[in-house]
Structure 1
Amino acid sequence: MPATASDYTFLREFILSRSENILDPSRDDLFEARLYRLMQSHNMTGLDELVSKLRLSADPVLEQAVVEAMTINETSFFRDLAAFELLRQKLLPQLIEKCGGHHTLRFWSAASSSGQEAYSLAMVIRCHFPQIADRSVEIIGTDINAEMVRRAHAGRYPRMEVNRGLPARLLLKYFTRDGEEWEIAPELRALCRFQQRNLAQTLPMFDRFDGILMRNVLYYFPQETQKRILQNVHAALQPDGFLLLGSSEQSVCPDLWQPVLDGKVCYYTPR
């Protein structure tokens, strides 16, 4: 039996309740496309059967699989190049000068998907700031999707993905070809760690970060959730650190964040 309007309403509300992501009714077709393989693996004939099982709330593994399948995982190496140029030319040199090599510089790639953003930052540091790369840099990537975290750990990417935004010279310098995939170099992998975390939940951080990249993810959340996330991020950032959002995003907490416009890129510092 085909899915009904109430089935789609249930699925949107289910995703919102589990991940706080908003899915617009105009994109209901995404459920069929993204949940097709999951339904096949569970021998389900359609969304109506999946909804029936979810309504029973008796299978937490299935529930998490549905949430992960509906998570947006759009990413690429050096996505929005202007932001990485700002890191190279201004934000990283400022941090290095302030810390003077006295403490490890810690960066958080929030909603890191399959790791391209974290590894792009690692490449910038390796290429342009080798004096700190070997001893005092840590990049943490977090994502709600366990499969994306696994892929980030593996550091292996098909040709289509390395062809998106990654300069050829960096591909040859920091990747090794293995059949149809390219594997990230050990010296980049050593700078990065990945964890499964839900950005909408409070994240316990034992040490604060010097820089946080949380780009192209806030607009998937309701405004109240955005405020809570930005409050948590504020608590996780060093007083002299920076926050980078996506080019079409802005802080909904002006009392906590000071916008700084640098050329075409806006970044934020904690008030």
Structure 2
Amino acid sequence: MAEHSTGISKGEVVIEAVDIVKNYGHLQALKGASLKVYAGEITALLGDNGAGKSTLTNIICGALPKTSGRIICRGKEIEVQSIQHAARLGIQMVYQDLALAPDLNVPNNIFLGREIIKDSIFGRLFKLLDMKKMTEISKNHLAELGIGLKSLSVPVKSLSGGERQALAVAKAVAWCESVLIMDEPTAALGARQQALVYSTMRAAAQKNLGVLVISHDIPKMLEVADRICIMRQGVVIADLMASETNLQAVLSLMLTGRAA
């Protein structure tokens, strides 16, 4: 699993998008969008439908190619080729569909594609999984994030919606080294389930990861996030500290491009 205790300093810019342009034929979805995400902070990316939020985050995580502009990861300019390439660079994305394997248990989901093989002749020869070690590491990792599950051995499909979402975040955090991106992580969840996801997000930030969240729940983002970035018509028009703004100002910027 990724180590978060060394190498990243709180307040360090872990990812920066500079003048990102994205064209779809004659349609320009992004018109020079720039964004910074800082280690140890939750940054909420807000904007009306069609503002370019998902396009920008999909470019950062390698799901979409950019037309022009630069992506800088911890001071080094990078060309993100794919989601898998982004993951190797320390960038993890949690999508709304979660990308969990519903019939597998919790440790098998966390270690999917990164399974630990038993360190023995038979283990290496027959590719036997070291479930004891994977379960122990998973248990400790979830505890660090404040996620309490009744059982790690049950299929993930038997967990509640909030538990599955928190597990998806925990899985991403396990392998994340720079920035964790989430697109509407609490959509369709109840209040208690939302609280579990938000606490997991905060725990990720406390590991000195940069957390970037797309959300339509503006009041909650003003409460949960450290920083508010607002997109309008393909450009990031504001980068504000959450403690220094309010709902009226955010809505005014989103709808008119001007502060209230």
Structure showing the higher helix proportion among its residues = 1
Q: Highest relative contact order (Cα 8 Å, sep 6+), 1 or 2?
A: 2
Query: Computing the radius of gyration over CA atoms, which structure comes out larger, 1 or 2?
Result: 1
TM-score (normalizing by structure 1): 0.30
Structure showing the higher strand proportion among its residues = 2
TM-score (normalizing by structure 2): 0.31
